[in-house]
Structure 1
Amino acid sequence: MLDAIGWIGSAILVLSLVQTRILRLRILNLTGCLIHTGFNLAIGVWPMVGLNVVLAVVNIVQLRRLLKERHASEGQNGYDVVSTDVDAPVLRRLLTRHHDEIAKLHGVEPAELAATEAYLVLRGDETVGAVLLADDGNGTARLTLDHVVERYRDFTPGEHVFRRSGILDGHGYDRIVTRPGITGRTATYYETIGFTRDAATDEFVLAVPIAA
């Protein structure tokens, strides 16, 4: 039984090292370190206990820093959203560079995306994503693309764009809707940032919030 626990801890540590998202890496690495701490305590290997305790503390410190940065809304450590033209070269370049990923994740060809408004998602000096909206009329903005590069792909960019940035204030919209049929991790993402599923249309809907 103890051997199995040790192997599980080792497997989690190895899994942590192949993560591209730093937050997930730290969480998995911390989990593996804690398992190894308990395992080595049980068998009395004190140098390994000390090593894993130190590594766990390092992971906790780094996790606190990462979680603090997640909710920074302005400045170098936070996200910003800037409006751009739907045919802007910088937007076209982003869509071209991430063509295959967008087609796979969103099931659409980037060149075929309908949009009347476009926004770039920035973190510091880096462009990390794009949001495209189409005016459906009657105060509805249809979300035709909500994409960020993989290493920033958690709920925080979307939380900033849709809950905090106020990008749609004064545009006459009272709600944002997604495409129908979203499931899995994407559905969890939209639920996390405040969208609710409309059972009648199978779309996720968010009332346009007023920026603070």
Structure 2
Amino acid sequence: MLPWLEIGGWVGSALVVLSLTQAHVLRFRWLNLTGSLVATTYNAILGIWPFVAMNAAISLINVYWLWRLGRERHDAAVYEVVEVAPDDAYLLHVLRTHAADIARFAPQFEAEPGPGEERSAFLVQRGDETVGVVEVRDGGDGDAVVALDWVTRRFRDLTPGEFVYRRSGIFAAKGFDRVVVPHAAHGDEAYLRGVGFRPEGSSWVRDVAATTS
């Protein structure tokens, strides 16, 4: 067997195995697709047709799910925003369950509001699955300051938090004129631009009045 062919076979197998370790649904699908395509080619060259058929079928399944995830990514009919009280029992359960992961992205965030703190909380649902939490506090002067914008690891390659910001009525009904992110990590800048924020000094701002549902 040619050395490059054997190396290709091992690479395909390694990618399939690596994909199974991924919690992110989009990353899993791309790695699994790449590995199965390599495996399809490898087995076709060797003439092992049952494995060609199996890996080709896996590739088609991955293509379908990648297409579906891409189509649903910005579909408001797929994701629902549910406002809950900041001390809601289910919300606090979600925050406690994922406390370690949330602390990586918002180390200053406290699950329970402090004394006198005005806070609004929103769950992002995909069917009966909670895929994200957005909480904002009243910063005064019409500003809703984002205290938490968190997504579960499974959906972190997608942007379900956008559905909270796209629903301008949520913030307008509370008397807010702007949504403000006080600071953002470098990797969050593309996401914030994508959901309509603009840089303003050290903060990122989205005008409520300029938002459409």
Q: Which residue of 2 aligns with 1:36?
A: 39
Distance in 2, Cα, partners of 1:29 & 1:134: 41
Aligned identity (percent) is 42
Q: What is the alpha-carbon root mean square deviation over aligned residues?
A: 2.7
- Decide which of 108, 121, 124 is 1:121's aligned counterpart: 124
Q: Which residue of 1 aligns with 2:163?
A: 160
Distance in 2, Cα, partners of 1:23 & 1:111: 28
What's the TM-score once normalised by structure 1's chain length? 0.80
What's the TM-score once normalised by structure 2's chain length? 0.80
Distance in 1, Cα, partners of 2:152 & 2:95: 11
1:13-28, aligned counterparts within 5 Å? 13-28=16-31
Is the CA contact (8 Å cut-off) linking 1:80 and 1:165 kept in structure 2?
no
1:58-97, aligned counterparts within 5 Å? 58-74=61-77, 78-97=78-97
Pair 1:172 & 2:172 matched:
no
- Decide which of 140, 152, 168 is 1:137's aligned counterpart: 140
Deviations 1:134-153 (A, max 9, x none): 22233321100112322232
Q: Residues 131 and 3 (structure 1 numbering): CA distance in 2 closer, same or farther, change over 3 Å?
A: same
Shift of 1:176: 1.6
Is the CA contact (8 Å cut-off) linking 1:80 and 1:122 kept in structure 2?
yes
Is the CA contact (8 Å cut-off) linking 1:155 and 1:189 kept in structure 2?
no
Is the CA contact (8 Å cut-off) linking 1:73 and 1:160 kept in structure 2?
yes
Distance in 2, Cα, partners of 1:165 & 1:157: 15
- Counterpart of 1:149, as a letter, is T
Q: Which residue of 2 aligns with 1:211?
A: 212
Secondary structure of 1:64's aligned partner: helix
Is the CA contact (8 Å cut-off) linking 2:81 and 2:124 kept in structure 1?
yes
Is the CA contact (8 Å cut-off) linking 1:21 and 1:150 kept in structure 2?
yes
Deviations 1:56-107 (A, max 9, x none): 1122123233333333313xxx222222222333333332222222222211
In structure 2, stretches of 5+ residues that fail to align are none
Secondary structure of 2:160's aligned partner: helix
Shift of 1:164: 4.4
- Greater shift in the superposed pair: 85-94 or 27-36: 85-94
How many residue pairs are counted as aligned between the two chains? 206
Shift of 1:131: 1.5
Distance in 2, Cα, partners of 1:119 & 1:88: 11
Shift of 1:45: 4.1
Distance in 2, Cα, partners of 1:121 & 1:152: 11
- Decide which of 191, 194, 201 is 2:193's aligned counterpart: 191
Is the CA contact (8 Å cut-off) linking 2:73 and 2:159 kept in structure 1?
yes
